[in-house]
Amino acid sequence: MSQVTGKVIDTRLLGRLLKLAAPYRATFILAAFFTIFLSAISLSQPLLMEKAIDSYILADDFEGLTFIIILMIVLLLVQTLVQYFQTYSTNSIGQSVIRDLRIKVFNHITALRLSYFDRTPIGMLITRTVSDLETIADIFSEGLISILGDLLLVIGIVIFMAVKDWKLTLVVLVPLPLLILATYIFQEAIKSSFQEVRTQVARLNTFLQEHITGMAIIQYFAREKQEMLRFNEVNQKHRDAHIRSNWYYSIFFPVVELISALSMGLLVWYGSGRILSDQQLAELSVSAKGVTPGLVISFIALTNMLFRPIRQMADKFNTLQMGMVGADRIFQVLDTNEFTSSEGHLQPATIRGEIRFNGVWFAYPTAPKEGETPPDTDKWVLKDVNFHISPGETLALVGATGAGKSSVINILNRFYEIGRGHITLDGIDIREYELNFLRSRIGTVIQDVFLFSDTVAGNISLNNPAISREKMIAAAKEVGAHEFIERLPGGYDYEVMERGATLSTGQAQLISFIRALVNDPEILVLDEATSSVDTETELLIRNAISKLLTGRTSIVIAHRLSTIQNAHRILVLDKGEIREAGTHQELLQMNGYYKRLYDLQFTTAGINK
């Protein structure tokens, strides 16, 4: 639960936000100065108004009145200019802060473990990094500094009025307790509604992200009407949350106007009575202790000025509150400490590629720490796995879905941390290696290829400037994909749509092969790399694989046993345990799980063994 809900302003969150604005301290100070200056200029206008009425209009001094009007116009122009700089500087601070914060959030998210994304909706994270961050910008552009200016203006108006006539000031302030009470009730009511609004925005974004991404499934199964009904329900809750918050506004602002009108009425009633009872009224002379028409009119202007910032402060406090809700959600993400441990710093010049799994236990999403008692074995994905791959050898992993094959790849890349045991590379625990270095030396091709909305070249190099176009072309030729890329409009500059929608599955898979090989990794991992391609493309890829595996340590996961018959060793996994191990011929002679799987595949395919 958010910490913001319990109080109007969370000083801890506010302190963290102000630290983010520290690099823009000079602009912040300048914006504060402009705000204070605006308050001072605003106070001069009623004073000039009083002077114009009492000293010039009632005295028929047209020349003096002209001077006052010109002075008021000059001050108005100065106020407009200062208002421009104040607005520009506050918005500049807000946008600069959220730019820095968005970069910080993105870098933080990319460093989190995959287990965090396994249980966190992508739409929620999008809401955090986009709309929630925008509310934080409002804290600086419409919140803190503006509230400071309004407070100074209110204090200045009250002091100014009290100096001019304390009795009139008391009359004006009589309804103020009602305004304070209304504001308090409004603040209490609006806090929970803001939380609900942000929650419903996140749910709406999550729903849209998931359903747009999965649109093909919805249309394949003709679920458009049913999903529209679900969307209507989510959208209705989003609408209701906004209406509830707007309902509070629709009550509060008319109440403020009513209280303001009451204060104004009392001022006119009392001020007029003072003027009429003044013995000097017939002469229309100005007494030092008397009430003049100019004074009453200036008080009317000051009363308007007094209630306007009070009304705006309530609105700005709500903007500040909304920003604090967004900040709380953002900092919840930033405070998530689910990083892949990266304490290692080892980056050797060469990697031989010797891999060893020693008594490895692993479970999703978390596993007990080393030394703790293992949980129920049904929760383990890998159970006491032991194997060794010599440099340049190819190890194949086979087994039913859920046997733990892909988990071997995930923990080798340290996407997840193991619960017990050790994994070594060239005799050194993989946790000793610098994380990015480790992953850069392992070229991985997965079954579910993901291509970004970028060019073919951008998807191959992932915009790494160290990878030249010549290197991409060489890798493409080695894989056998250069010809089809050249046939695309624009060749390597062809714009690939999101998730490779404009390419065939086989073409996308070939690009993923080039992406893995362009860095010339010492270790190559193929996770069902040929399971989603047609026969012709599979033959193309298989020929490329036979060349690419030469001299590299390789781990190949495949359902099609025809692709792994030449592997140096094959491990048969079943429910997280190694059931059989050996070469293709050795496993066939065992007449066990591998033999049954082999007979089933080749008999079904009608292939003569």
Residue burial 174-200, b: 16+ Cβ < 10 Å; e: rest = ebeeebeebbeebbeebbebbbbbbbb
Range with the poorest average pLDDT among 40-54, 80-94, 310-324, 408-422: 310-324
Query: 469-479 and 535-548 helices cross at what angle (nearest 10)?
Result: 110
- Inside any domain, residue 348: no
**Residue 346 forms beta bridges with which residues?**
433
Mean confidence (pLDDT) of the chain: 80
- Alpha-carbon distance 91 to 146, whole Å? 11
* β-strands 394-399, 523-527 pairing: unpaired
Residues 118, 218, single domain; the answer is yes
**Which CATH number does the domain housing residue 87 bear?**
1.20.1560.10
Query: 354 lies in a domain?
Result: no
Work out the average pLDDT over 179-200.
Answer: 76
What pLDDT sits at residue 385?
A: 93
Same domain, 319 and 407: no
- The structural domain count of the chain equals 2
Do 266 and 399 sit in the same domain of this protein? no
Per-residue pLDDT, averaged over 191-200, amounts to 75
501 pLDDT exceeds 90?
no
Q: Which domain holds residue 58?
A: 11-334
Among 95-99, 221-225, 358-362, which is the least confidently predicted range? 221-225
The pLDDT confidence band at residue 220, using thresholds 50, 70 and 90, is: low
CATH number of the domain residue 499 falls in: 3.40.50.300
What is the structure's pLDDT at 14?
80
Flag whether 557 is in a domain. Answer: yes
Q: What residue spans of 278-432 are helical by DSSP H? A: 293-334, 405-412
Strands (E), 317-431: 355-362, 382-389, 394-399, 420-425, 428-429
438 and 322 in a common domain: no
Query: Is residue 436 in some structural domain?
Result: yes
Instruction: Please report which confidence band the pLDDT of residue 451 belongs to, taking 50, 70 and 90 as the band edges.
Output: confident
- Eight-class DSSP state of 285: P
- Looking at residue 531, its pLDDT comes to 57
Task: Decide which of 214 and 5 is more confident.
Answer: 214
Q: Is the pLDDT of residue 432 over 80?
A: yes
Question: Per-residue pLDDT averaged across 467-490, rounded?
Answer: 87
- Asked if residue 356 has pLDDT above 90, the reply is yes
pLDDT at 288: 41
HSE-up (13 A, CA, CB side) for residue 205: 19
Residues 224 and 323 in one domain: yes
pLDDT at 604: 55
556 close to 563: Cβ distance less than 8 angstroms: yes
Q: Percentage of residues in the chain with pLDDT exceeding 90?
A: 10
**Is residue 6, in this structure, part of any structural domain at all?**
no
Give yes or no: residues 319 and 412 share one domain.
no
| Structural domain includes residue 376 | no
CB of 275 closer than 8 Å to CB of 296: yes
Last residue of a domain, one of 334, 350, 381: 334
Cα dihedral 536, 542, 545, 550 sign: negative
Asked, for residue 357, whether it belongs to a domain, the answer is no
Average pLDDT over residues 270-293: 61
Asked if 269 and 401 sit in the same domain, the reply is no
Whether the ω angle into residue 365 lies within 30 degrees of 0, i.e. cis, is: yes
Q: Please say if the pLDDT value at position 372 is more than 50.
A: no
Q: Is the pTM of this model over 0.75?
A: no
d(CA 461, CA 15): 41
pLDDT in tens, 244-279: 877 877 787 788 888 888 888 888 888 877 777 764
| Mean pLDDT within 20-24 | 86
The answer on 119 and 38 residing in a single domain is yes
Res. 74: pLDDT tops 80 = yes
455 and 587 fall within a common domain:
yes
Of 294, 316, 334, the domain-final residue: 334
Which token pair is 528? 């069902």
With the CA atoms of 567, 406, 544 and 597 taken in that order, what torsion angle do they form, in degrees rounded to the nearest 10? 50
Last-in-domain residue among 334, 357, 383: 334
Question: Quick one: average pLDDT of 218-235?
Answer: 82
